[in-house]
Structure 1
Amino acid sequence: MPLTEFVPLLKELSHSDKLLLLHFLVVELLNESGLVPLDIHGKVASQGLHDSFEAAAVLAKALAEEKASMIEV
């Protein structure tokens, strides 16, 4: 079925159905491109840079080294 046949049907969808369709299409595109969507099986991924203890440790070490090098100068 060509896309031109879908357009009138899509215009009839409710606002919430359009949002669900948009979500579905984005997830499909991410899956096809090999990227991981933010929403995996109904669970929002909670791990990010703001939740990463390893990233915090690396940043703290870099800041301490920079502070130490500024004191030596």
Structure 2
Amino acid sequence: MKNPIYPPDETHVFFTDMQGITRRGIYKRESKGYVELSEVEMPMETKFVFPVDEIVRWEQIKDHDIDLTKFIL
């Protein structure tokens, strides 16, 4: 991103990588990246983190559902 502006820490966002793939996740300032939310419950250490320099666009999710169990099949 040119002249990057990042969301507040722990913000739920949709983010798009350089390949044009949009994902749902959380911005983590400490990790300097976006953590993809997975449909499968995983420890934070094994989740996919996308560095801020690989993200071309992000959009804050205004009304996110913190109960992620509805995404588990």
Higher gyration radius (CA): 1
Give the TM-score taking structure 1 as reference length: 0.23
TM normalised by structure 2 equals 0.23
Q: Whose helix fraction is larger, Structure 1's or Structure 2's?
A: 1
